């Protein structure tokens, strides 16, 4: 800055912080009887085949917790750990199940094949996700169990992968566990970006934040 130019004043120590970004754009409206009773705001991104951004709206680079959208990537890590998953087993490991009897039977079978019981599951006890299944389950006198929680298939696959590799079973949800380190490596490789934040999902498993472009690439 030359001597002839005025020196801009420094902000006061107690100057207010810059305002936060404005609200995200409205993506959907909730309409009842022709009346808009609510709106949903958020961000959208569309990618080219090469993974570059073709179009976006809102703040697509703002990291989010993808919740169950992370499950296919977690299942990919379980495959990388050497667990033989295909067909209905892979589907159960990569998605939320509705708690139908054949879901529960398969999750339990995936455990018993490695000498494990349902007591090894560390997902929280819950009712079947499907309302009809939940009603029938309660009518039969059953109570909430980890096995009936909608993520028990993923947890059963995680435990089976740990048993196959000789990894600790009681700490399989610890972010520093060999399986969870492999999950993080797989998530970052699939997304093409580092995990922005680490949290805990409702099922107790580590939850890894990504941007929308990263999630879409994965």
**Considering the domain boundaries, does residue 34 fall inside one?**
no
Is it the case that residue 8 has pLDDT exceeding 90? no
Q: Which two tokens stand for residue 143?
A: 């109570």
- Which of 123, 133, 137, 148 has the alpha carbon at shortest distance from 71? 123
Task: Quote the CA–CA distance of 200 and 187 in Å, as a whole number.
Answer: 15
Mean pLDDT value of segment 98-125:
98
- 7, part of any domain: no
pTM metric for this prediction = 0.86
| CB-CB contact of 27 with 41 (8 Å) | yes
Q: Is residue 54 part of a domain?
A: no
User: What is the distance between the alpha carbons of residues 95 and 74, in angstroms, rounded to a whole number?
Assistant: 10
Under DSSP, is residue 196 helix (H, G, I), strand (E, B) or coil? coil
- What CA–CA distance (Å, rounded) separates 124 from 145? 7
Does 148 fall in a domain? Answer: yes
- 184 pLDDT more than 60: yes
Average pLDDT, the chain: 92
Q: What's the token pair of residue 166?
A: 């000789």
Range of the domain at 93: 67-217
The per-residue pLDDT for 118 is 98
Q: And the tokens for 184?
A: 């993080």
Find the mean pLDDT for residues 135-163: 97
Kindly state whether residue 128 falls inside one of the protein's structural domains. yes
- Closest residue by Cα to residue 97 from 20, 150, 152, 26: 150
CB 195 within 8 A of CB 187: yes
SS3 189: helix
Alpha helices in the chain (DSSP H): 71-80, 87-93, 101-112, 131-139, 152-165, 178-191, 212-217
Radius of gyration of the chain (CA): 23
pLDDT for res 17? 63
For the chain, what is the total number of helices (H) and then of strands (E)?
A: 7, 6
Q: How many domains does the chain have?
A: 1
For residue 4, pLDDT over 60 is answered with no
Q: Does any domain span residue 111? A: yes
User: Does 212 fall in a domain?
Assistant: yes
- Give the mean model confidence (pLDDT) for residues 65-82: 96
Any idea which of 18-22, 47-51, 130-134, 183-187 has the lowest mean pLDDT?
A: 18-22
pLDDT at 23: 83
Q: Across residues 61-90, what is the average pLDDT?
A: 96
Position 6 scores a pLDDT of 47
- Give the Cα separation of 40 and 205 in Å (integer): 27
The string of pLDDT tens digits covering residues 125-144 is 999 999 999 999 999 999 99
| Per-residue pLDDT band at 83 (split at 50, 70, 90) | very high
């Amino acid at each position: 800055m030359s001597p002839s130019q005025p020196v801009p004043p420094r902000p006061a120590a107690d100057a207010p912080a810059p305002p936060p970004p404005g609200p995200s754009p409205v993506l959907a409206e909730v309409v009842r009887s022709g009346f808009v009773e609510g709106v949903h705001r958020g961000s959208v991104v569309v990618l080219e085949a090469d993974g570059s951004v073709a179009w976006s709206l809102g703040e697509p680079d703002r990291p989010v917790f993808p919740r169950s959208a992370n499950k296919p990537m977690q299942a990919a890590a379980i495959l990388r750990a050497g667990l033989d998953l295909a067909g209905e087993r892979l589907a159960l490991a990569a998605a939320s199940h509705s708690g139908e009897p054949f879901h529960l039977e398969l999750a339990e079978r995936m455990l018993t094949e490695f000498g494990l019981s349902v007591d090894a599951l560390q997902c929280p006890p819950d009712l079947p996700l499907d309302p009809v299944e939940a009603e029938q389950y309660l009518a039969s006198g059953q109570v909430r169990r980890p096995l009936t929680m909608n993520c028990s298939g993923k947890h059963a696959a995680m435990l089976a992968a740990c048993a196959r590799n000789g990894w600790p079973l009681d700490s399989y949800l610890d972010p520093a566990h060999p399986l969870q380190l492999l999950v993080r490596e797989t998530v970052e490789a699939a997304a093409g970006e580092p995990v922005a934040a680490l949290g805990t999902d409702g099922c107790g498993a580590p939850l890894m934040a990504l941007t929308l472009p990263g999630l879409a690439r994965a």
